[in-house]
Structure 1
Amino acid sequence: MKIACVGGGPASLYFSILMKRQDPSHDIAVYEPNPAGSTYGWGVTYWSGLLDKLREGDPESALAVSENSVRWSDGVAHVGDRTTVHHGDEGFGIGRRRMLDLLAERAVSLGVRVEFEHEVTAGRLPDADLVVAGDGVNSALRERHADHFGSEITLGRNIYIWLGTTKVFDSFTFSFVETGHGWIWCYAYRFGDDHSTLVVECSPETWTGLGLDRASEADGLALLEKLFAHLLDGHGLIGRAQADGSAQWLNFRTLTNRTWHRGNLVLLGDAAHTTHYSIGAGTTLALEDAISLAGALRDHQELESALAHYERERKSALLSVQSAARHSAQWYGNLPRYIRLPPAQMFALLGQRHSPLLPYIPPQLYYRIDRAAGQLEALRRFKRWLGPRVARTVQGRCHR
């Protein structure tokens, strides 16, 4: 099969690796319009479940990603001068550029042609049996046939900006700061030995009230450094200025598509779907798309059947994730409802922000119900653990 992957993101690269492993005779090219080493974003997050899937698909690239990742196991929330810590599941961070370099190196070693500074236009697709549109949320290949794909984009209400910093965070960190114009907050996590990602978010009213809508990037970063001085410990923030010097504040775009394929063209990763960054699943979902698409092509001889299976499988898998992302974004949109709670309760409900019930139950009542349910489940687990041991003891006494 001759395969052309348009867009050199993690999903396209990993898909090309999987397809070469399945059949080295596949002719595969990945076309990336930007120069090698240039990418947006800072670090990406993932959890151990993804590593397990990567090891199954290609142990070599999984090992490389794992060895170049950093780990954390705690979450920390600062609300004004109050701090609370939650000991949770182990998470991982890796620089986006580093991940792309590792996957590109592995793809090339298997015989994939990775061509940088090679732009593919929607009007002139490569001559291939399969064209994979991995060109992101602004996919030109998808937009050319937007009516067929049934693309819909919903803009989130809050405003956010993706930044870097030389402050290294040992834990996944949240910080909420009250200003005269409302609350502003950030999510921060380490992705290397000397850098962290820091995403700042606020309501439109806070954004305009603080003058961030009118500030240049330099002035905006200076203001944010003052607001989060307690968190940064003297370290600065690093942005990505536009040509006119403005800051890249955005409304998150939730993208869905009615169908994911058209003829021999198929959507992958952010070209097919997006989920709010507050659940930290974007890269994971894109890589899972690649795994699913490669598996469908392996198991189905007919291209149409393979693409239809891939679409059904991934749409089904995404239902719960998209629901969680939607409710997570809504939680931050309703922040005043939770921010005055005692720190432990506020952080507990921050962890429950994916729940569809939370917006409809008074927060403190929800917290008490959740605590009671957790205690009941712990009791059930203890009884299940105890049951076989009691049975064995009784049997032993009977035998004696």
Structure 2
Amino acid sequence: MRIVCAGGGPASLYFSILMKRSDPGHDITVLERNPAGSTYGWGVTYWGDLLDRLRDGDPATARAISENSVRWTDGVAHVREQSTTHPSDEGFGIGRQRLLDILVERATDLGVRVEFGREITDRGQLPDAELVVAGDGLHSRLRQQYPDRFGTEVATGRNKFIWLGTSRAFESFTFAFAESEHGWIWFYGYRFSSDRSTCIVECSPETWAGLGFDRLDESGTMALLERIFARQLDGHPLISRPDGGGSASWLSFRTLTNASWHHDGIVLIGDAAHTTHYSVGAGTTLALEDAVSLAGAVRRHPALPAALAAYEAERKFAILSTQSAARYSAQWYENIPRYMHLKPPQLFSLLGQRHSPLLPYVPPQMYYWVNQAAEEFTPLRKLRKWAGPKVVRTLAGRRPGTP
């Protein structure tokens, strides 16, 4: 089969690896718009279950990713001047560029053509192919050519966030909440190498404007954030871009869904098909799982339309619980003043329960004590299990801060 992947992200690259392993005769080309060695973002996070699935698909890729990842086992929350630590299952971080380098090297070793600097804005620019994989992200140009066919919908979140890096290598998955005269501002920080961490800063639009971020340039933004989080950064700077070029921008998260994931030989994968709020740390995992599902469907179904329909049905069902968890998680942070009167251990406990649909409707203190009681009382534990979303283990039970 002739296959072209538009976009050289983890989903497209891993799909090409799996297809080449299943049949070296496949003719596969991956077209990436950015130059080699250039990417957005910092590090990505994942949990051990993903490594198990990658080992099943391609042990060599799984081994390389594992060897280039860092690990942590605790979650830490800093609230004002207080801190609390909770144990969690082992988590992993890896630099996004390192991950892409591993996937590109493995794909090319297997005979996949990976071409950089190839921006695709129209299907007519693609080589002839029986299957076109649209892995070109949230703003997929291929998907945008057929808006009525894919039925794309985008919902924009309320809060503002900015995706940064820091030379502070956090030993634990770190949350920091700071109170300003204009409201709360916080970050999520996790290490992805021996000397770098991702640092995602978030706040309400009122806090964002009140602190002046709507007027500050990049240097002013970095300086103010470094002052706000001076204790947690411990003298380390925040960094705007991994390569030193360009600048990071404040954004509002956009949750993307599609009514259909395939049309006329084009199939959506990764962020082109769906996005989930960054606070559940699932984007890269879901993209790689899309690749596994699509490759499996193509192997099982000789007729391509049947394969794409099977892939769409499987993945739409599989990500329902993740999408639910992401919606509730985003809402928890959008309503964060509701929880900030709690003591840090109690706040951290509810942080781990933020996927619950009941939490917004129960007084936080009451929810905390019921949750604690549920650990000891079987009927309450069953009620909590029934009432909460059926979140896959890698997204709820393994989150840092989950009690």
Q: Write out per-residue CA displacement over residues 134-180 of structure 1, whole angstroms, 9 at most, x where no aligned residue.
A: 00000000011111100000000000000001000000000000001
Query: Partner residue of 1:390?
Result: none
Q: Distance in 1 between matches of 2:246 and 2:271?
A: 27
1:120 is displaced (CA, Å) by 2.1
* TM-score, length basis structure 1: 0.93
Q: Distance in 1 between matches of 2:260 and 2:104?
A: 29
1:31 aligns with 2:24: no
Query: Partner residue of 2:327?
Result: 326
Query: Partner residue of 1:53?
Result: 53
8 Å contact from structure 1 (residues 84, 344) kept in 2: yes
Q: In the alignment, residue 108 of structure 1 is paired with which amino acid?
A: T
Q: Bigger shift: 274-283 or 335-344?
A: 335-344
Task: In structure 1, list runs of 5 or more residues that go unmatched.
Answer: 382-400
Cα–Cα, structure 1 residues 245 and 22, in superposed 2: closer, same or farther, change >3 Å? Answer: closer
2:342 aligns to what SS in structure 1?
coil
TM alignment of 1:127-138, pairs within 5 A: 127-138=128-139
1:199 aligns to what SS in structure 2?
strand
Q: Distance in 1 between matches of 2:30 and 2:284?
A: 18
Q: Distance in 1 between matches of 2:117 and 2:379?
A: 55
Q: Distance in 1 between matches of 2:306 and 2:30?
A: 24
8 Å contact from structure 1 (residues 138, 271) kept in 2: yes
Q: Write out per-residue CA displacement over residues 282-327 of structure 1, whole angstroms, 9 at most, x where no aligned residue.
A: 0000000000000000000110100000000000011110000000
1:343 is displaced (CA, Å) by 1.2
1:173 aligns with 2:174: yes
Q: Distance in 2 between matches of 1:269 and 1:245?
A: 25
The sequence identity of aligned pairs, in percent, is 67
Cα–Cα, structure 1 residues 376 and 306, in superposed 2: closer, same or farther, change >3 Å? Answer: same
Structure 1 residue ranges (4+ consecutive) displaced by more than 4 angstroms after TM superposition: 243-247, 377-381
Q: Write out per-residue CA displacement over residues 235-277 of structure 1, whole angstroms, 9 at most, x where no aligned residue.
A: 1000039x99865000000000000000100000000000000
Q: Distance in 2 between matches of 1:211 and 1:94?
A: 33
8 Å contact from structure 2 (residues 160, 251) kept in 1: yes
Cα–Cα, structure 1 residues 377 and 28, in superposed 2: closer, same or farther, change >3 Å? Answer: farther
Q: Distance in 1 between matches of 2:196 and 2:355?
A: 29
Query: Partner residue of 1:86?
Result: 86
Q: Distance in 2 between matches of 1:45 and 1:307?
A: 28
8 Å contact from structure 1 (residues 8, 31) kept in 2: yes
Cα–Cα, structure 1 residues 158 and 301, in superposed 2: closer, same or farther, change >3 Å? Answer: same
TM alignment of 1:1-400, pairs within 5 A: 1-124=1-124, 125-240=126-241, 247-377=248-378
Cα–Cα, structure 1 residues 192 and 378, in superposed 2: closer, same or farther, change >3 Å? Answer: farther
* TM-score, length basis structure 2: 0.92
8 Å contact from structure 2 (residues 373, 380) kept in 1: no
8 Å contact from structure 2 (residues 170, 189) kept in 1: yes
8 Å contact from structure 1 (residues 175, 187) kept in 2: yes
1:374 is displaced (CA, Å) by 1.6
Q: Distance in 1 between matches of 2:50 and 2:369?
A: 33
8 Å contact from structure 2 (residues 165, 241) kept in 1: no
- Which structure has the greater CA radius of gyration? 1
2:159 aligns to what SS in structure 1?
strand
Q: Distance in 2 between matches of 1:331 and 1:75?
A: 18
Q: Distance in 1 between matches of 2:248 and 2:121?
A: 28
Query: Partner residue of 1:387?
Result: none
Task: In structure 2, list runs of 5 or more residues that go unmatched.
Answer: 383-403
Cα–Cα, structure 1 residues 72 and 361, in superposed 2: closer, same or farther, change >3 Å? Answer: same
- Count of residues in correspondence between the two structures: 381
Q: Distance in 1 between matches of 2:379 and 2:231?
A: 38
1:379 is displaced (CA, Å) by 12
Q: In the alignment, residue 213 of structure 1 is paired with which amino acid?
A: D
Q: Distance in 2 between matches of 1:356 and 1:110?
A: 46
Q: In the alignment, residue 19 of structure 1 is paired with which amino acid?
A: M
Cα–Cα, structure 1 residues 363 and 379, in superposed 2: closer, same or farther, change >3 Å? Answer: closer
8 Å contact from structure 2 (residues 93, 190) kept in 1: yes
Q: Distance in 1 between matches of 2:181 and 2:50?
A: 42
1:380 is displaced (CA, Å) by 9.4
Q: Distance in 1 between matches of 2:276 and 2:160?
A: 16
Q: Distance in 1 between matches of 2:381 and 2:361?
A: 28
Q: Distance in 2 between matches of 1:272 and 1:111?
A: 26
Q: Distance in 2 between matches of 1:96 and 1:378?
A: 44
1:371 is displaced (CA, Å) by 1.2
Q: Distance in 2 between matches of 1:34 and 1:379?
A: 52
Greater RCO, 1 or 2 (C-alpha within 8 Å, sep 6+): 2
Q: In the alignment, residue 376 of structure 1 is paired with which amino acid?
A: F
Q: In the alignment, residue 363 of structure 1 is paired with which amino acid?
A: P
1:369 is displaced (CA, Å) by 1.3
1:58 is displaced (CA, Å) by 0.1
Q: In the alignment, residue 236 of structure 2 is paired with which amino acid?
A: H
8 Å contact from structure 2 (residues 163, 248) kept in 1: no
Q: Write out per-residue CA displacement over residues 341-397 of structure 1, whole angstroms, 9 at most, x where no aligned residue.
A: 01111100000001111001111111111111122359999xxxxxxxxxxxxxxxx
Q: Distance in 2 between matches of 1:359 and 1:99?
A: 37
1:118 is displaced (CA, Å) by 1.4
Q: Distance in 1 between matches of 2:318 and 2:352?
A: 21
Q: Bigger shift: 14-23 or 113-122?
A: 113-122
8 Å contact from structure 1 (residues 158, 201) kept in 2: yes
Query: Partner residue of 1:384?
Result: none
